[in-house]
């Protein structure tokens, strides 16, 4: 992509990683909304969306954050990121399946920043999840304010296409209802929006599926961990990060306890 085609960030986004993440996710979401109007369907639409959003995000990061490493679902994994101090972890199009099924709105763009805090450690320090279908970008610069819980029973967001069996058993144990939807980002954000109260997943995912949503969830005061209650760790050599919990803090003990007792198989 030539730099002349690139959207230009506002000055405040250039100066602030939270706002840059939010701006980049938003413009990639706009690009995806455009791709969705171009008459493509099925696999062609999925591939065009993945590629367009990836190309745009990589070009924006190269232009405006040239010293930083990038880990993208759609790019080659350059292991130089393991020695870098700052790594952008991006999922250009999360919920690719749902993106290809207009008018579904459960798809998202994820942009997260990981920063080194020690020789072998680091943390997510900024993140943004754009949900163009909702017209909103949720981000760490202005974290979502989680509304008071409205549902009488807890609601657990699960994958629409591959809900893990143990989450059904968990729901029965704690008296919860399942809310199926696409996209890891949309599910995490659904907890912050009081559309669900928890997102519980196991069986497979990669760092880019959860990094940005988890950064936003933490900034909003939600609980985040692996399903066994241990911390989610990013910018690892192996980017397979197959399970997670994001929930209202008051639900975390019951969910972790269930997994420790019954496992996820």
121-160 footprint of Mg ion as x/- string (CB under 5 A): ----------------------------------------
Least Cβ distance, residue 210 to Mg ion (angstroms): 8
Q: What are phi and psi of 13, to 5 degrees?
A: -75, -35
Cβ proximity to Mg ion, 72 vs 225, nearer residue: 72
Cβ proximity to Mg ion, 134 vs 206, nearer residue: 206
Q: Is the separation of the CB atoms in 215 and 184 below 8 Å?
A: no
- Is residue 55 within the footprint of ligand A3P (CB under 6 A)? no
Structure tokens at 10: 């506002």
- Locate all alpha helices (DSSP H) within the chain, ordered by sequence: 11-15, 17-35, 42-64, 96-99, 165-174, 184-192, 207-219, 252-262
Q: What are phi and psi of 243, to 5 degrees?
A: -150, 155
Q: Is the separation of the CB atoms in 206 and 239 below 8 Å?
A: yes
- Is residue 106 within the footprint of Mg ion (CB under 5 A)? no
* CA–CA gap between residue 193 and residue 196 (Å, rounded): 7
Q: Is 40 annotated as a binding residue?
A: no
CB neighbour burial string for 234-252, b if at least 16 within 10 angstroms, e if fewer: bbeeebebebbbbbbeebb
Contact stretch for ligand A3P (CB under 6 A) within 11-19, 168-176, 181-189, 216-224:
181-189
Q: Is 93 annotated as a binding residue?
A: yes
Q: Is 73 annotated as a binding residue?
A: yes
Residues 190-229 that bind ligand A3P (CB under 6 A): 203-205, 209
Least Cβ distance, residue 186 to ligand A3P (angstroms): 8
Contact stretch for ligand A3P (CB under 6 A) within 56-64, 157-165, 166-174, 251-259:
157-165
Structure tokens at 188: 């995490």
Question: Residue 162's binding partner, choosing from Mg ion, ligand A3P, none, with beta-carbon cut-off 5 to 8 A by kind?
Answer: ligand A3P
CA-to-CA dists, residue 212 to 2, 95, 114, 207, angstroms? 27, 14, 10, 9
Site residues, Mg ion (CB under 5 A) = 91, 94, 209
Site residues, ligand A3P (CB under 6 A) = 73, 91, 94-96, 159-162, 182-184, 203-205, 209
């Amino acid at each position: 992509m030539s730099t002349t085609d690139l959207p230009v960030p506002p000055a405040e986004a250039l100066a602030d990683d939270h706002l840059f993440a939010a701006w980049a996710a938003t413009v990639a979401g706009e690009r995806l909304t455009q791709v969705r109007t171009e008459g493509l369907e099925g696999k062609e639409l999925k591939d065009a969306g993945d590629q367009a959003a990836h190309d745009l995000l990589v070009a924006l990061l190269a232009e405006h954050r040239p010293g930083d490493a990038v880990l993208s679902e759609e790019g080659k994994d350059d292991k130089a990121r393991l020695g870098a101090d700052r790594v952008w972890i991006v999922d250009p199009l999360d919920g690719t399946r749902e993106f290809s099924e207009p008018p579904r709105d459960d798809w998202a763009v994820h942009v997260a920043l990981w920063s080194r805090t020690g020789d072998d450690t680091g943390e997510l320090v900024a993140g943004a999840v754009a949900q163009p279908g909702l017209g909103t970008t949720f981000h760490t610069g202005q974290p979502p304010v989680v509304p008071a819980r409205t549902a009488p029973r807890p609601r657990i967001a699960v994958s629409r296409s591959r809900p893990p069996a143990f989450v059904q058993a968990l729901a029965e144990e704690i008296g919860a209802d399942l809310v199926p939807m696409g996209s890891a980002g949309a599910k995490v954000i659904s907890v912050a929006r009081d559309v669900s109260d928890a997102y519980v997943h196991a069986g497979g995912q990669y760092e880019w599926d959860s990094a940005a949503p988890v950064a936003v969830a933490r900034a909003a005061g939600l609980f985040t961990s692996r399903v066994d209650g241990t911390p989610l760790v990013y910018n690892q050599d192996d980017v397979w990060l197959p399970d997670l919990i994001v929930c209202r803090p008051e639900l975390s003990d019951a969910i972790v306890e269930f997994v420790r007792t019954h496992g996820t198989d």
